[in-house]
Structure 1
Amino acid sequence: MVTKVALVVLVVSGAALAVPADPYRPVHPPAYHQDLMPYQFEYGVKDEYSGNDYSQNEVSDGKAVTGSYTVQLPDGRKQTVNYVADHYNGYQAEVSYYGEAQYPHEYGPPVTFKPQHGSYQPKPSYQPRPSYQPRPSYQPKPSYQPRPSYH
């Protein structure tokens, strides 16, 4: 009896080890290879009215990315970051600054900008009314006519 039980346990455990854990998952997943996708882009903003001044350019040959960006800092300096990034060395950046940082000793009222083109005229806040008076076109009529009851 003990040998029969041991034999059954051996057969069941062997069958359990032979079946893959996930029968729907392929044994060797397909390899995904994508062709190199080189690209290049560039943009820039210089708005005298608001003081925004920034730009970026970037070039990639599909293996490595090279680029730079500049930002006008609030203290008056311009920050430039030149960078190179690839899968072997990671992201490497070199940061440089142009100009002197300026910190005023006296603070005055905040700088505000006046509108350039005329003044803003909000529309009046009222609800427009239709030029006609809508009336319901459907007049319901009772479908049940009570009959007189005789006692």
Structure 2
Amino acid sequence: STHHTTSAMIKVACLLSLVSVAVALPVADSPPPYGPPPPYGPPEYEPYHPEPAYHPEPVYPHHEIKEEPKPYKFEYGVQDDYTQANFGHSEDAKGDGTVTGEYRVDLPDGRTQIVKYVADHYNGFQAEVTYEGEATYPEYNPAPPAYGPPAYGPPEPYAPEPYAPPQYSA
């Protein structure tokens, strides 16, 4: 009976060996085995051409319509006693593109500022500034303090006690 058991074990071992060899054989469509890696070399130069990070604005044809200057004239003024606002402006434009005007405003120091100006396409804007009146300033009167002296006294002087190392008895 031991002979029979040994013979059966040998048969099972042979069968398992055949199955493992059959499974280990390469399949017909399997990829080729890996070979040694290629030798190292410096990378080949490839110039860098980045894409622009922005896109230019679209270009549209510019159609400028040249119009002849149109004459006009205006004037306004404000004089309010309640708010003490006093200012005005007048302007006159000719048909040749020349504009003349004047504006005036009362300043806080009591003077009146007057600006007379001329503007044209040749000389640009030219202004002449003048002042009427004398600047006056109110006398300085400081308000009394709204609070009294502090309710606490001065701090006590700093006087720490001297340090004495602890005494140990043996």
Normalised TM-score (structure 1): 0.50
Q: Cα deviation per residue 1:1-45 (whole Å; 9 max; x = unaligned)?
A: xxxxxxxxxxxxxxxxxxxxxxx966xx65622122111000000
In 1, the alpha carbon distance for the partners of 2:65 and 2:127 equals 31
Equivalence for 1:78: 112
**Structure 1 residues 107, 49: CA separation in 2 closer, same or farther (over 3 Å shift)?**
farther
Equivalence for 1:95: 129
**Structure 1 residues 81, 100: CA separation in 2 closer, same or farther (over 3 Å shift)?**
same
Q: Cα deviation per residue 1:99-142 (whole Å; 9 max; x = unaligned)?
A: 10001223478xxxxxxxxxxxxxxxxxxxxxxxxxxxxxxxxx
Q: Which has the larger radius of gyration?
A: 2
Q: How does 1:62-141 map to 2 (within 5 A)?
A: 62=95, 63-107=97-141
In 2, the alpha carbon distance for the partners of 1:44 and 1:69 equals 9
Equivalence for 2:34: none
Q: Percent identity?
A: 50
Equivalence for 2:66: 33
Equivalence for 1:51: 84
**Structure 1 residues 81, 107: CA separation in 2 closer, same or farther (over 3 Å shift)?**
farther
> RMSD over aligned Cα, in angstroms?
2.2
The 3-state SS of whatever aligns with 1:33 is coil
The 3-state SS of whatever aligns with 2:137 is coil
**Where do 5+ consecutive residues of structure 2 fail to align?**
1-58, 144-170
**Where do 5+ consecutive residues of structure 1 fail to align?**
1-23, 110-151
* 1:88 to partner: Cα distance: 1.1
More RCO (CA 8 Å, sep 6+)? 1
Aligned residues: 84
Equivalence for 2:26: none
Normalised TM-score (structure 2): 0.45
**Structure 1 residues 89, 72: CA separation in 2 closer, same or farther (over 3 Å shift)?**
same
Equivalence for 2:41: none
In 1, the alpha carbon distance for the partners of 2:89 and 2:63 equals 38
Q: Cα deviation per residue 1:29-69 (whole Å; 9 max; x = unaligned)?
A: 65622122111000000000110000000000141110000
Q: Cα deviation per residue 1:59-82 (whole Å; 9 max; x = unaligned)?
A: 001411100000000000001000
In 1, the alpha carbon distance for the partners of 2:142 and 2:72 equals 47
The 3-state SS of whatever aligns with 2:87 is strand
